Structure 1
Amino acid sequence: MRTDSMETAAKTIKLYDDRPYDLSFTGEIIYAGPMEEGTRRLILDRTLFFPEEGGQSPDRGMLADCRVTDVQIRDGIITHTVRGSRERLEVLEPGCQVRGELDWDFRFSNMQNHTGEHILSGLLHSTYGFDNIGFRLSPNTVTLDFNGHLDRDGLLEIERRANEAVYANLEVYARYPERDRLETMEYRSKKQIDEAVRVVTIPGVDACACCAPHVRRTGEIGVIRILKSLRYKGGTRLTILSGRRALALMQQQLIVLEDVSHLTSRKQEELAEGVRSLLEENADQRFRIGELERQITDLRLSAIPAEQKNVFLAEADMSPLAQRGYVNGLCERHEGCCGVFVGNDSEGYKFIIGARQSDAKHQNALHSDARQAAALLREKLGARGGGKPAMVQGSVKAAWQEIQKVLEGLS
């Protein structure tokens, strides 16, 4: 029935309920919204396009030779947002018969992942009594939230059993049970549903209220993988993948493993131990480098006359830790402001400047404010940075001779 208002449109016939494997359909436009920046919202009497619902992203495809960019449902009325040329959009009016074509690869991937989630959630519930409290199936990620915790071994066992259900090639069927039958059934549901309830059943594994399309048999899923587990809102969030998307990820991971195996000259099953060994060697080398840098710093410091005030040095390369240690050593030996600039004339310098402060050892010495040096550099050379009287850090784009000349202005 045609209408001039979205609010008065009749509920949309959901062809995807009974025909999830159909690739195309024909429907009548009963409402066409105004054109907005190359898009238009359409309500049809029927549709194969699954809307964003139940945590799942909407279907993709073409409708009347226009690209479907969004599908939403409200009070049983499904609205399609389409994008196309002005010529295509302006002829889409109530009463027009239009053809819709699904992006099948996207739809089937969603079916694989959604049924895979049902299998995992069903096993978590039947084995441990955990309830599914959240689900998100987007183009980029699939997450499952449940109100419990499992260690690595527990998750591996659930994953193994989920894939056993895939190998069993069990039938998956969706039904709208009569109300009296529904009252005697055991099925999962996160909310109270007042209208007809669609129950998706995988015999011996799961029964759950669900509005989305699913595969006919579990064997079509291919594989179910649990990728990551983290504590979330008092429970657990699993990142999962099934079907083609899981296969694509495993292929990508295998390439990475082969590359790392080649780089480390280790077998794939020995990579964890190999990486651990490399990290330990790296930590040992960093310690040795730090010791050498401290020794070099001490030698350089001893070569500077003790009576020299306001000492500033430039280095081509130095770690931030060594740079800070160098500055601390200078401030220990010299009055005024002391700093180390690391970089070069073409790219600029990163600096740390310190100034000796009051303590038991230097209570009779004159004390300076490192911010004075930073202020000079900012005023004369546009330097950036800041800090406290004892130490400032920042960067400056200038030649070393220019920097030295500016710092000569310190008293």
Structure 2
Amino acid sequence: MQALRTLNNQRRRPAPILAALTLALSVLAGTATAQTVSYRDTLTGWADRLDAAAAVLETEPDRPIARIGSGPLLKKGSSGERVERLTQRLAELGFLDRARHGDLFDDGVDTAVRAFQFSQRMKVDGLVGGGTRVALDRSPQEAATQMRRSAMSMRAFRDTAPDTVILVNLPSQTTTLVRDGQEALTMRSIVGRPSRETPMLQDRITHVIVNPTWTVPPTVLKEDKLPLLRAKGSPGIANAVVYLDGEPVEPAIVDWHNVSPRRVRIVQQPGDHNALGRFRFNLTNPYNIYLHGTNEPKLFDREIRTVSSGCVRLEDARGMAEALLASEHISTARLDRMLERQEPQWVKLSQPVPVRFVYWTATVDERDAVRLHPDIYDLNEDTAPAAAPESAAPGSPDPMPPAQRA
């Protein structure tokens, strides 16, 4: 309770910069109504909110800030130069006394970090990992840049997207199903790590596969699994069949050191252990990118979920499958029976569902507060766009990153 009171007291004494940030994040808070709002109207409201919040931040003086910089996780007990910069930054934001100096992550710093995380609607754990560090290192001007850019992109999406579409926002690591112009389903997602980026695709889902197998993609095979076969005689994958030159083999008795990757194929059988979970949603792109479930649900608890090899993992893959298969007259009871068969079953969608990947580093949450997300692929490093008038033509689409190493 004392820690909670301390946290609340810290929030009552914001520094000028923090006060401006707090105002910007709450500006133009909307009033909830019982009337159903279309997703296009929602995006219009979000874009207007972001531009208004950016306008507030742009009045702040452009002054240097203490930046923690990338490095290992910081937590209570940590020490060193990065902790010293952390205390400086927390003081700048009003969460620590400006007279406070030191390079030890003690109870006071822990309380201040938790207060900052609470103010940003982040997971309050006192750990300065990727998400918290990026948020602390962000200046008001950089935050305004994110808001302006995302507002412009939202308007372009609103004006060009079909009424039914699956929207994957890479920076927020979320996936939304919009059906007939209404938001039907939103969930957390996992996207590609920076070394294996998820491309900015415009695609469509053509098939839903229930109980999929998983064939290890070429890049994962070459960089991860073949080295394991050479070192341990096993690919490290549960219930997998290893093929050499098209024939199944017992991996432990093969000398893999002189075997090239193109001679090897590894296929994991269906089940709860499968890396794709129980559902795969096939796309048509040449990069072997698709949506699927997972056998590691705990990963969705992370603030930063850039851990895949490029594909998008869905927190509620079953919910997405039910929503898409309802149009094919497949009930939940029938879906249960399909799952019990423990073998792959392909369902072709009579109407393929469009999928759009976007890069919005600023969004608006269910409490009408602005949320800022990490620039996970460093795509927003150029100059901030000017405020876009409502009548402006949609901007050009984001460029596709280099070919995906799936």
Q: TM-score, normalised by structure 2?
A: 0.22
Q: TM-score, normalised by structure 1?
A: 0.22
Structure with the greater alpha carbon radius of gyration: 1
Give the structure, 1 or 2, with the largest relative contact order (CA under 8 Å, sep 6 or more).
Answer: 2
